[in-house]
Amino acid sequence: MDKPVFSIGERVEKLCVVCNEVRGHVVVSITKRGQISRVSCPKCGARTSFKSGATTDAAAKRSTTKAGAPYDRTRTYRTGQAMMHPTFGLGEVTKVIEPCKIDVLFSDRMRRLIHARQPE
Ligand SMILES: [Zn+2]
């Protein structure tokens, strides 16, 4: 059976021991064989090692995701806000990079979006 191969920046569900909750983590390093070795928690920033098979039952039953309002590039987002993107689906703002750029964690990976854009 083939193991799934991952790449850096992808999202995995994992229990964060610091936050003590299951949430999407971002893959920060992988082995030569494409297996996850370290992940980062977007909420507290903790980097932890990832053991395959360590995704617990708790991770399987995902916590009910809070519904997000549709993504609007003219809106100003804050860390922790949820949004519904027309292409990527539900995402959560993990960091405001620049006044007009945000990192958003979607169900598959992290993406950088623009926000607070002046309407034309
Ligand atoms: Zn955490």
14 C-alpha vs ligand 1 centroid, how far in Å?
Answer: 10
Give the strand pairing for 82-85 and 69-70: parallel
What is the DSSP code (8-state) at residue 107? S
Q: pTM of the full predicted structure?
A: 0.65
Structure tokens at 99: 């006044």
What is the strand order of the sheet 69-70 is part of?
69-70, 82-85, 89-98, 101-106, 110-114
Q: What is the pLDDT of residue 106?
A: 95
How many helices, marked H, and strands, marked E, lie in the chain?
1, 9
87 C-alpha vs ligand 1 centroid, how far in Å?
Answer: 27
What is the strand order of the sheet 21-30 is part of?
11-16, 21-30, 36-40, 47-49
Q: Are 82 and 67 in contact (CB under 8 A)?
A: yes
Structure tokens at 62: 């995902």
115 C-alpha vs ligand 1 centroid, how far in Å?
Answer: 25
The one-digit pLDDT tens for each residue of the chain (120 residues) are: 667 789 999 999 999 989 999 989 999 999 999 899 999 999 899 999 987 554 554 444 444 445 689 999 999 999 999 999 999 999 999 999 999 999 999 999 999 999 999 877
119 C-alpha vs ligand 1 centroid, how far in Å?
Answer: 35
Q: What is the pLDDT of residue 66?
A: 58
With tokens 């598959």, the residue in question is 108
